Amino acid sequence: MAGGELATFVEEIMIGNIVQLIAGGLLLVAGKRLYWFFVGLCGATAGLFISEFFLHPEGMTERIIVAVAIGAGFAVLALILQKIMVGVAGFIAGGFLFVSLLDTLKITLPDWNWAVFLIGGLIGIFLVKILFDLALVIISSFAGATLIIRGLNLGGSNGLIILLVLILAGIVFQSAQNRSKPTIITPESRP
């Protein structure tokens, strides 16, 4: 790799990490409210894998274009077909979480990553189906925390501890936002 190519490669990695940190932060604090963003982000993540394995793009720019197009399509569909697309996003996020969890723990199962993804995806769909609102909070917190950990390139036991703390913080923060505020009765507001 020549000097210019190396600089471009390093720049792309830094931009990718910054995007992961921003997207992860948004999901962590507002994943339920921004469910369409969550679904779009899951679609974009799937788009990155789809473009790499099926389209074999020349550079990162082409991969990003495909990912953004698929993510935008998922986001639009989420606004139209909310429950179905949140289920799809639950599958993608659950699968991605399980594979990322194995990566964080430095467990390698190269021939079984598809099975791990499938199991995580099915658990993600189950959570979304049974506990729709709570599942959105939990899965978006998991996805946001995972993106932040990946953006910071953390692994091992420190990465796992930070991942768990971020997940818990996201769940607590989003749950606190969802609680209704108590109504204060004043003398003027009595019937």
Question: What is the CA angle 139-140-142, rounded to 5?
Answer: 60
Q: Is the pLDDT of residue 87 over 80?
A: yes
Identify the three-state secondary structure at position 67: helix
Distance (Å, whole) CA 23 – CA 4 = 28
Cα-trace Rg, the chain: 19
pLDDT for position 165 = 93
**Rounded mean pLDDT of 20-27?**
82
Question: What is the CA angle 128-72-54, rounded to 5?
Answer: 90
Segment (H or E) for 160? helix 156-178
**Rounded mean pLDDT of 92-104?**
83
CA contacts within 13 A on the Cβ side of 95: 19
Residue pLDDT, tens place only, 124-178: 888 877 877 787 788 788 888 888 888 888 877 888 899 899 999 999 998 888 6
How many other β-carbons are positioned within 10 Å of the β-carbon of residue 135? 22
DSSP type of residue 152: T
pLDDT for position 5 = 63
**Rounded mean pLDDT of 46-62?**
74
pLDDT for position 119 = 92
